[in-house]
A and B are shown apart, each in its own frame.
Chain A
Amino acid sequence: MPANNPGPIAVRRQMKRREFLKHVGRGGVGATVLVVGAGRARVSAQTSSPYPDWIPASTKPPKRGGVLTRASAWDPPLLDPRLTQSVGLFQFAGLTSNRLVRYAFPDEASGTSDLSLKGDLAESWQSSSDHRVWTFKLRQGVKWHNVPPINGRELVAADVKYCYEAYAKEGVQAFTFREIEGMETPDRYTLRVHLQTPNVLFPQNVAESVTVIFPREVLEEDGDLKKRLVGTGPYILKEHTRKVRVVLTRNPDYYDKGRPYVDEYVILSTPDDATRVAAFRTGQSDIVWRASLADVEAIRKTNPAAVVQEYKNVLTPFGLALAQDKPPFNDLRVRRAISIAIDRQKQVDTLFEGHGFLGWGVPYIYYQDQPPTAAQLGPWWQYRPAEAKKLLAEAGHPNGFETTIFYYEYFPQMTSQVQLVQQDLKRNLNINVKITKLDYTTYYGRYVESKWDGMAWGFQSGHAVGLDERTYMYMHSQSTKNFFRVNDPVIDELSTKLRQTPDRAEQRVITRKIVDREFDQVLRMWMPYDNGFLVFQPYVRNAAALAIRRTDGYGSPTIARVWLDK
């Protein structure tokens, strides 16, 4: 995604051509061996890293003051949370603004996968017995930033109501908030939300990083929120100069007294990856993301005291999307044949230097404790070219067919990934795939319109943490976010049932069933993806990233708990 791409989670380093060829060479040898032994299930090999995937909170008493700086790839296109879900905006909107509910911060969480909900603007919340009515009790004494036009007035329930109505009215969050049938504010600090259908996961939806509460005054005065970002959060937006910097200054009236600790958070627009690394090396940036272990080691040569957290992804944002509502992809045998004709492990070994994983769409932490092994992904995720050929012949395509794929290159390896898929399909199934590489806007326009034929290199949005978002919103046949064009009555039924199931253990069982069904029917053909590393300056405390909440991205609210030990 360009510097301000509103898209899937990670930004990667560029793999050098020589390095790539070396890996592909290795992969080629490996592939030969594996073709000979095809049919045996392989486990996903991940290179072990010497760095921890979790950094517990500091036990020292926090220090106040200092400036935290980060060279960032992303630049906010505009400040209106109704109009964009760009990580460029939400790398700091979660600091200027609050949500009703939030996920645990690193200094409260038991580990990266801790998804417990905490009150943000709401102190408590409860649902009616049928889970159609949710009542949120707001904190008293929360003040908007002391800047015009609100000038520090108190936030009340009517503000939240106004904001949710505005989200439902137009913009990128409309689908989520149209679930609301109506809202009442029985008193200044109580918001009662009536949903059209029961949803036990509704609090998760309003805990998403993008559901920030904005003031009615700005929208009414300006007609939009493109220029002013005012909230109730720990930081006040002091400066936003596009393509230069965002400066956030500590909000002295923040409801969580004593926090935040850092006086100023400066985000420097730095589109070039090498420059971001150089900025970290020279102390101009306190946090940097690296996609490979080799990159981390290179940084540690000049900055041996740097603190590294291995960031293990719990889902993959990219996969092969098929026009499964049309022939030939509406035939399950064709989808299965394609899936088992693709050597995913080769992609992991070559493109992701062994540090990747095979790929799944629903975060595994919602249905099991450990990342799925290759075997757990089921038979249609194993590389079995002979079986694939047979299945395709049974489906009436013994000689393969012609098809197309379009994609946008989110990171350099993606082009190689698409080409490897093309090679696998040609070699194993005689499917000729014509590749079209598109620019960002053309790709989005075509992909989300969902009228394309053939195949697309599909994605799911990177911001969502919640289970409802990752299942019902992305897979239900009636959802506007169902980009993979899933139309499966079992998935519809299960994802709806999930919304009506309050028990966590039962939720895990249903989620497991959804995932099994997805894998069995090859509804979304996930492709390998890799893990990465967050590198911090040694004096940065409590900045660990949590699952699906990277500190330097949608997990930005974490910065409210960061302090500088210097």
Chain B
Amino acid sequence: MHKYIIRRLLLAVPVLLLSSLIVFGLMRVMPGDALTALMAESGNVGERELQKLRKDLGLDRRYHEQYLIWLWQMVTFNPGDSIFTNEPIPVALKKSIPVTLELATLALILGLVIAVPIGVLSATRQDTPSDYTGRVVAVSGLSLPDFWLGTLVITFAAIWFHWIPPIGYVSFWESPWRNLQQFLLPAAVLGFRLSAATMRMTRSTVLEVLREDYVRTAWAKGLEGRIVVYKHALKNALIPVVTIVGGQLGTLLAGTVVVETIFALPGMGRLTVEAILFRDYPVVQTNVMLVAATLVTLNLLVDLSYAWLDPRIRYR
């Protein structure tokens, strides 16, 4: 198992290197830079001044020099400052990561709380009204986009209840109740969407497992239905579900721009998109690398969890 983990970690190095090259290259291919975004509109900045400012920011260096400097900064865990705001990138991340983490965790929990029971119910009561209802809910979750659902939720909450989540992010430690008010609705919107895929996967894998011989044996032994489904069937049906949930978590941690925008939450999604729009190279590059590293780690954790779920699985 240790060998397996080390091998996977070593394999992650070329993946991350390739990601760094792609993000660095793509950012440089895009026209304009942070200074253009910031100052050009005024029309007051001459080309000579722009060149001077670019030099001050190191944007006039050759691309390979810029890449190597940045790579060294990443390796030494010192990603530098935003060229747009001058804010150290770790400070910006420290502000946005907890927001995204909280939103992702809540959304995932809500998603699972909705998806797994309904998925199991759909499977055990196949082709009954409760199955159809569950499937309709799942299809709705897959087909309703975040921006539509989020906008609808916030608009009708304001009209019907004269209430919307308080605007202006407050951390959980500052005010737990206000923080929860801010996060529950966006997490529910995200969770509903996530639950759709999980629900469908749970239903189909539970259905499959329920037809296995060992489940038939469990029934034949006269075990209680709840024990057969939840102890014998569900655990074995969870491997594909865990794979899906792992992927969803990766996507969530990369930031959910639309929901963050609608509910005015200052998470990773807004940070990254704004940085892309303003060509804030170091911020974009660092965020993308962070997401890449997170996805690699999550994939590894998901793979490792298979052995816990199914003791027959061995790592070599």
Residues of A within 8 A of B (CB): 2-4, 6-7, 71, 77-78, 83-85, 170-176, 224, 226-227, 241-245, 266, 268-272, 274-275, 277-279, 281-285, 302, 439-442, 444-446, 448, 461, 479-483
Contact = CB atoms under 8 A, between A and B. Distances in A.
Interface in B43-57: 43-46, 49, 52-53
A242 B278 CA distance: 15
Contacts of B155: 274, 277-278
A266 B31 CA distance: 36
Contact of A275 (B44, B84, B264): B264
B154 A274 contact: yes
A439 B274 CA distance: 12
Contact of B86 (A85, A226, A274, A302): A226
A242 B43 contact: no
Interface string B254-267: 00000001111010
Interface stretch (B34-42, B66-74, B187-195, B219-227): B34-42
B167 A270 contact: yes
Given A173-B42, A441-B279, A275 B36 contact: no
Interface string B71-86: 0000000000000111
Contacts of A483: 43
Contacts of B30: 441-442
B104 to A, nearest CB: 18
Interface in B80-108: 84-87, 95
A6 B168 contact: no
A271 B262 CA distance: 7
B267 to A, nearest CB: 9
A488 B30 CA distance: 35
B166 interface: yes
A171 B85 contact: no
Given A242-B266, A441-B31, A266 B39 contact: no
Given A83-B38, A278-B155, A445-B32, 11 more contacts: A2-B274, A77-B278, A85-B41, A170-B49, A173-B44, A174-B44, A176-B44, A272-B154, A441-B37, A444-B41, A461-B42
Interface stretch (B1-9, B157-165, B239-247): B157-165
Contacts of B42: 6, 85, 172-173, 461, 481
21 contacts: A6-B38, A71-B167, A78-B85, A78-B86, A84-B38, A84-B39, A170-B53, A171-B44, A173-B42, A241-B169, A242-B266, A243-B271, A266-B168, A274-B155, A275-B154, A302-B162, A441-B278, A442-B31, A446-B32, A479-B43, A481-B42
A444 B262 CA distance: 26
Given A282-B163, A441-B277, A442-B31, A77 B38 contact: yes
Nearest to B270: A243
Contacts of A281: 158-159, 162
Interface in B256-306: 261-264, 266, 270-271, 274, 277-279
Category for how many chain B residues contact A: 35 or more
Given A245-B168, A278-B158, A282-B163, A442 B32 contact: yes
A446 B40 CA distance: 10
A271 B261 contact: yes
Interface string B130-164: 00000000000000000000010011011100111
Contacts of A442: 30-32
B47 to A, nearest CB: 8
A448 B40 contact: yes
Nearest to A439: B277
Given A171-B39, A274-B155, A446 B31 contact: yes
Contacts of B169: 241, 244
A7 to B, nearest CB: 6
Query: By CB atoms of chain B within 10 A, which of A241, A277, A448 has the most?
Result: A448
5 closest A-B pairs by CB: A172-B42, A481-B43, A445-B32, A278-B158, A243-B266
Nearest to A6: B41
Contacts of B261: 271-272
Nearest to B258: A272
Interface string B1-41: 00000000000000000000000000000111100111111
Given A77-B85, A227-B86, A278-B155, A448 B41 contact: yes
Given A268-B168, A274-B154, A275-B167, A7 B41 contact: yes
* Residue among B31, B37, B151, B266 with the highest chain A CB neighbour number at 10 A: B37
Contacts of B38: 6, 77-78, 83-84
Nearest to A8: B41
A145 to B, nearest CB: 21
Given A77-B38, A279-B164, A282-B164, A226 B85 contact: yes
Contact of B168 (A77, A175, A176, A244): A244
A440 B44 contact: no
Contacts of B167: 71, 268, 270, 275, 279, 284-285
A77 B84 contact: yes
A78 B84 contact: yes
A481 B41 CA distance: 9
A273 to B, nearest CB: 9
Contacts of A245: 168
A408 to B, nearest CB: 11
Contacts of B86: 78, 224, 226-227
A77 B87 CA distance: 11
A269 B96 CA distance: 15
B36 A445 contact: yes
Contact of B264 (A174, A270, A448, A479): A270
Contacts of A272: 151, 154, 261-262, 264
Interface in B162-206: 162-164, 166-169
Contact of B159 (A7, A173, A275, A302): A302
Contacts of A285: 167
B158 to A, nearest CB: 4
B170 to A, nearest CB: 9
A331 B42 CA distance: 29
A171 B49 CA distance: 8
A176 B44 CA distance: 8
Nearest to B262: A272
A176 to B, nearest CB: 7
Contacts of A242: 85, 87, 266
A291 to B, nearest CB: 17
Contacts of B37: 440-441, 444-445
B39 A83 contact: yes
Nearest to A14: B151
